Amino acid sequence: MQNNIESLEEPIASSNLLELRGATKSFGSNLVLDNINFELKAGEIHSLVGENGAGKSTCLGLIYGLHQPDSGFVTLNEKTVKIDSPSHAQKLGVGCVFQELSLANSLSVSENIFAGRSPSRYGMVNWKSLNAQAEKLLKQFELDINVTLPVGNLPISTRQLVEIAKALSLNSKILLLDEPTSALTPDEVSTLFTVLKKLTKQGIGIVYVSHHMSEIFKISDRITTLRDGKVISTKRTSDTSQEKVVAEMIGSQSYRELRVAQPISEEILLSVDNLSNSTDFSGITFNIRKGEILGIAGLMGSGRSEIVRTIAGLKQDYAGSIIFKGNPVTFNSLREAMSHGIGFIPEERKTEGLFLQYPLDANFSSANLKNYSKLEILQHRKISSACQQAIDFYQIKTESYKKNAGALSGGNQQKLMLAKWLERQPDLLIIEEPTKGVDVGAKFQIHKELRARAQEGMSVIIISSDFPELISLSNRILVVSDGNLMGELSPEKTSEEQLLQLAVGLKKQSQNENTISEK
């Protein structure tokens, strides 16, 4: 049997908890996995990386009993097994936490952890025993929470740990994690990583799937890269680099996510002065020049989104002034802001950004209907032609522009949303979490397009929890904490740690510290 995993000089650990050997899987005529070899050792975090469609989710599906291999096999503890279903996988010691949490928000923490397996007495749930077992399990996470609370009342990071605890309550020795940090802030990610390292010390093996390269290199012992359903390499994390892994993922040896120096106009496009509202932020003052990419960093709940939504006319209750193109403005709606040359791409593409039940061409034209109508009648042929051009240009993977937007992957939905707003050619584009949940290829393409538009003179404000993204993409970075502006940083002189310190409010930037020199 051909082995397409690169050999390692010495093993990470002595035993394999899990192996995929020659695993092949097709869905209809689509070959998704092609002779996959993958192994997980006891006490190891082994990351599985690749673009959307590379085969990562299908690999997890084979291990968790969601799919059966067409050929090849799965071994657990060096014994070949046929995993018939997720419940069978759980009995074999395999737990899985998917990106979309499976918790019931109205049920308590303990009820969620032991769903369907609650201890009983005389045919009734033994609540005392149930809650005691849940508390004992959560102690290893150093979580001191009331396990009788509805899980929906907890922060998202705590819910994530409850989901992992639920998997471990099944005595899992193998843990599959699919994008476990997609909704977490940097400090919450750090907490999760501490827990995962503790689990490996107990001999638990973890398969970790994420689009965030910085996380992969912080947490992994080894990295397996997939492309087009094939294993490209398996390497120790210490023996490779982010640039090399990304190059393997997208099939290019020249991929480099470098900052591009570009001249910035002296013309001020937007300035806000002492912007405040009663609940979310106060005393916010900054400006953005024509052709500049301005990053705004901050944790969830910091007020960062409320600031830009006020600028875009989505929130009207504020004090202070907004000057756009040299004129004081007060926008009472997003539509009014759009008419002045502002575009806004929200963080939640599924609920705020797209009409998932409508086709791609309807979504593409929805922010620019005036351009595609004549005598107030929509020109459907013109819309379809423009949408197809956008599909080709942004490499949106779809069978047709008549397919519903909800059928697209997250990365392709993000590119559709970007195409929809860039078609308006706004003077100022405000975009929240531009690459949330997208693969590295889509991320590179989105970054490339935003830089290109900035070079053409468009100003861009980016709200992102991805600090490496802000450092890579921005000309300047503002940091917001608890509704206050903590500082303005130069990306060339800034680290993730510095951004996080300001974002959590540990300190406020001094006047002469890491500032942007005025031209």
Residue 92 lies in a domain: no
Q: Tell whether 326 and 433 lie within a shared domain.
A: yes
Residues 145, 328: Cα–Cα separation, whole Å = 49
CB 89 within 8 A of CB 83: yes
Residue 232 lies in a domain: yes
Q: Which of 84, 466, 128 is nearest to 119 (CA)?
A: 128
Q: Which residue type occupies 400?
A: S
Number of structural domains the chain divides into? 3
- Name the residue with higher pLDDT: 223 or 158: 223
Q: How many CB atoms lie within 10 A of CB 488?
A: 15
3-state secondary structure of 209: strand
pLDDT of residue 163: 84
Q: Tell whether 77 and 10 lie within a shared domain.
A: yes
Express each pLDDT in 33-69 by its tens digit: 999 999 999 999 999 998 777 889 899 999 999 999 9
Residue 105 lies in a domain: no
Residue 110 lies in a domain: no
CATH of the domain at 1: 3.40.50.300
Residue 96 lies in a domain: no
Q: Tell whether 35 and 48 lie within a shared domain.
A: yes
Residues 178, 210: Cα–Cα separation, whole Å = 7
Express each pLDDT in 89-145 by its tens digit: 999 999 998 876 778 889 999 999 888 788 888 788 889 998 998 998 888 777 778
pLDDT of residue 185: 67
Residues 450, 418: Cα–Cα separation, whole Å = 9
Q: Tell whether 414 and 448 lie within a shared domain.
A: no
Q: Tell whether 363 and 511 lie within a shared domain.
A: no
pLDDT confidence of 254, banded at 50, 70, 90? very low
pLDDT confidence of 14, banded at 50, 70, 90? low
Q: Tell whether 438 and 505 lie within a shared domain.
A: yes
pLDDT of residue 256: 45
Express each pLDDT in 318-363 by its tens digit: 999 999 999 999 999 999 999 999 999 998 888 888 999 999 999 9
pLDDT of residue 301: 79
Q: Tell whether 455 and 412 lie within a shared domain.
A: no
Mean pLDDT computed over every residue of the chain: 86
Residue 197 lies in a domain: no
Task: State how far the alpha carbon of 450 is from the alpha carbons of 15, 197, 253, 434, 435, in Å.
Answer: 47, 37, 23, 10, 12
Is residue 263's pLDDT more than 80?
no
Q: Which of 424, 443, 458 is the last residue of a domain?
A: 424
Q: Which of 424, 442, 458 is the last residue of a domain?
A: 424
CB 307 within 8 A of CB 282: no
Is residue 162's pLDDT more than 80?
yes
Residue 369 burial (10 A CB sphere; 0-12, 13-18, 19+): exposed
Q: Tell whether 322 and 444 lie within a shared domain.
A: yes
Boundaries of domain holding 6: 1-84+205-256
Express each pLDDT in 417-435 by its tens digit: 999 999 999 999 999 999 8
Q: Which of 380, 407, 424 is the last residue of a domain?
A: 424
Q: Tell whether 416 and 366 lie within a shared domain.
A: yes
Residue 200 lies in a domain: no
